[in-house]
Amino acid sequence: MGRIITIILYVFVSAGPVWAGAWLREKGHGFTAVAVSGFAENDGTRKYKSSLYAEWGLRPKLTIGLDAEEHQDQYGHAVVFARFPLADLGDPGRFAAELGLGAHHRGLQSWAMYKATLSYGKGLQTGLGNGWLAVDTALEYRTHADLIRKLDVTVGLSTDRLLDPLLQIETYYAPGYPFYWSARPSLMIRPRKGKFTWIVGVEKTSAQDAIGARLALWRDF
């Protein structure tokens, strides 16, 4: 049980948001997101995690931002990052890189955290409308732990409809621990008026029997 808790702890600390990827923000434009996920354990206890994400187009080829997450005031991280383009291949897709620096904590102890991400993104045309595919590979180094490897895949639709589907699959490997995966099927709810998008979904992980609930609010500005 202690081993499983440790794996869950690592994943909660390192999970990234679904909206990061190969696309940059236009200069002078930004994006924010807040999210909460809740899980009911087999013993009846309830656990939750919350997150705050923000990014801003500082220059045409430079997006900066903040990624922060907290797990019941016990574990969490805060990372500032810079994203820049590598290649735009047109229809075949695009590549971008991201470098991050910050800290994470367990209780009252904290350590430095460094992150490097290579992202691929591609627009999709389907029978249900236009969408996108994002693949993010990341290496995370924490000064008290081994190098962590991640591979995340996100697929979604972006149409004029009120509801659009979204799916994110996260994978995670830390030396000495079993391979971890997480799947998040969700619905994006875009009201006709306003710049807000609601995300309502569920989350299933390889380390938990219970299915969690997730609620997020996105805003472009």
CATH number at 98 reads 2.40.160.40
Exposed / middle / buried, residue 5 (Cβ in 10 Å: 0-12, 13-18, 19+): exposed
Least confident among 15-19, 39-43, 194-198: 15-19
Total of domains in the chain: 1
| The model scores a pTM over 0.75 | yes
What is the DSSP code (8-state) at residue 107?
T
pLDDT digits (tens, 9 = 90+) for 80-109: 999 999 999 999 999 999 999 999 888 888
CA 81/CA 78 separation, integer angstroms? 10
Write down the pLDDT at residue 20. Answer: 52
% the chain with pLDDT above 90:
52
pLDDT digits (tens, 9 = 90+) for 70-82: 987 788 889 999 9
Residue 131 pairs with which residues in a beta bridge? 124, 157
- Quote the domain boundaries for residue 35: 2-220
What is the DSSP code (8-state) at residue 16?
-
pLDDT digits (tens, 9 = 90+) for 165-205: 999 999 989 888 889 898 999 999 988 777 789 999 998 87
CA 220/CA 29 separation, integer angstroms? 8
Write down the pLDDT at residue 145. Answer: 76
Scanning the chain, the segments in alpha helix (DSSP H) are: 2-14
The residue-averaged pLDDT of 123-150 equals 89
